[in-house]
Structure 1
Amino acid sequence: MQSVLITGANRGLGLGMVKYLLKQNKAEKIFATCRSPSEELQKLLQDNKNLHVIQLDVKNTDKFEEVALQISRVVGDNGLNLLINNAGVTTKYTKINLVKPEQLLENLAVNTIAPIILTKTLLPLLKKASEANSDKPVGIERAAVINMSSVLGSIAQNDQGGFYPYRCSKAALNAATKSMSIDLKKDQILVASMHPGWVKTDMGGNKAPLDVATSINGIFDTIYKLREEDSGKFLQYDGTELPW
């Protein structure tokens, strides 16, 4: 894989993805976006010439074109092979009598609107990668979009209620993933939703059963195996298909 862009890369899963790709030497060019680089990400930047950190608040969609230009200057006609829409926010468990409009709006802006508009903005670069790698099967070695979702976005598996802002935003992201997979099929661009598991991060909390490394290893083991018939699926980090 020549190039990958990961949003929300300053901590948690996003940072774990960057570290995995660098350690495994899995990508020639890694673009990592974040609102403010953490010390760990800055250290990685200093030690790795193939890592490019781009400051971005994904709620600021007006900056997406500028991001696309920065990436284009580096990748040229090779385009962008893989977009991982990872940046996300969540609220605490929210019952119907406590949910607030601002919580719903923030979750929707970061978890749903940003991935859709960023994918739209980077589509010309994804198409370039697909065309440049037309000798390869559909997948991340050619061109792909992975939307980091959550099992809490599954309507079929919702048996606890609550979590209105997060559940609704991730269910909407899953709907967008399905539409993207249909719209981008003609361009041979794979699109899938990925549930990373319940992971020990700032978002997941200390009670989560999975550590970051286990989740990341599973995610990349799974997405490297994805082929054309997997486009439009909702998958767990270990490859298990989840119900919408």
Structure 2
Amino acid sequence: MNSILITGCNRGLGLGLVKALNSLPQPPQHLFTTCRSRAQAVELEDLAKKHSNIHILEIDLKNFDAYEKLIGEIEVVTKGEGLNVLFNNAGVAPKSVRIGATRPQDILDTLHTNTVVPIMLAKACLPLLKKASEANGSEPMGVSRAAIINMSSVLGSIGSNTDGGIYGYRTSKSALNAATKSLSIDLYPQKILCISLHPGWVRTDMGGSSAPLDVPTSTNQIIQTLCKLNEQHNGGFINYDGSQLPW
């Protein structure tokens, strides 16, 4: 892939994805990374100083009015070649677990960040993704042409839910999965591939210290999986290792 935009790169999986991509034999020419505060994204800043392909874009993704500026900054760098991949990684963890402790504002805040933001950012990036797809018309559907990767969670799987609870987070990821499916249908004529991806249960601030996977294991597998995606995966719900997950 020539260019990729990854949201939420100040820590955790987002930062891990940046490291994994830059460790490839042929890293992306342009790696656009977002964070809410550059001052707090110390490790990301250090990486950007060492690797000229990393571009840091400071933005509050919940401020939809800021998207036009974000797209403009990417266009200046890519010089009309568009954007190969939008990776909607940024998200928030559940604030409450059981129904008795669930508050309406918790659900609304989680849906805003985990569902509405990825949909609206996909909409904003669509002109760039279409340009990349057209410019790489000889390539099959996949990340080397144009793709939207939505970071979901197995907790958004209705078929796998045997524990209940986690209302805001589960519903936000189920809704994101539904959006991914619609995007895969709407953008198929432009050959823009769209999938939902579960990163595994990872030891991050969100995943907690008892998670079985560390960040490098998850992100390295994710990159391997992304490179194998093709038209058959379009509209799918995929595990970090490439296996299918139930809706």
Alignment of 1:57-206 (within 5 A): 57-206=60-209
* Amino acid across the alignment from 2:240: Y
Deviates more, 1:33-42 or 1:148-157: 33-42
Q: Which runs of 5 or more structure 2 residues have no equivalent in the other structure?
A: none
- Name the counterpart of 1:233: 236
SS in 2 for 1:97: helix
Question: How far off is 1:92 after superposition?
Answer: 4.2
Query: Matches of 1:68 and 1:9 in 2, distance apart?
Result: 17
Residue of structure 1 equivalent to 2:20: 20
The runs of 5 or more residues in structure 1 that have no matched partner are: none
Bigger drift between 33-42 and 108-117 goes to 33-42
Identity of aligned residues (%): 55
- Residue type matched to 2:145 in 1? R
- Alignment partner of 1:224: what SS? helix
Q: Give, as a single letter, the amino acid of the residue that structure 2 aligns with 1:33.
A: T
TM-score by length of 2: 0.97
Q: Note if contact 2:21-2:223 (Cα within 8 Å) is conserved in structure 1.
A: no
Partner of 1:32: 33
Alpha-carbon distance, 1:26 to partner: 2.2
Once the two structures are TM-superposed, the CA of residue 45 in structure 1 deviates from its matched residue by 1.2
Q: 1:41 and 1:222 mapped to 2: Cα distance?
A: 24
What amino acid sits opposite 2:153 in the alignment? S
Q: CA RMSD in A?
A: 0.8
* Deviation at residue 93 of structure 1 after TM alignment: 4.8
Confirm or deny that 1:209 pairs with 2:183.
no
Instruction: Give the number of aligned pairs.
Output: 244
- Find runs of 4+ consecutive structure 1 residues off by over 3 angstroms: none
- Which whole-Å deviations, capped at 9, do the CAs of 1:3-22 have from their partners, x for residues lacking one? 00000010000000111111
Equivalent-residue separation in structure 2 for 1:230 and 1:186 (angstroms): 15
SS of 2:159's equivalent in the other structure is coil
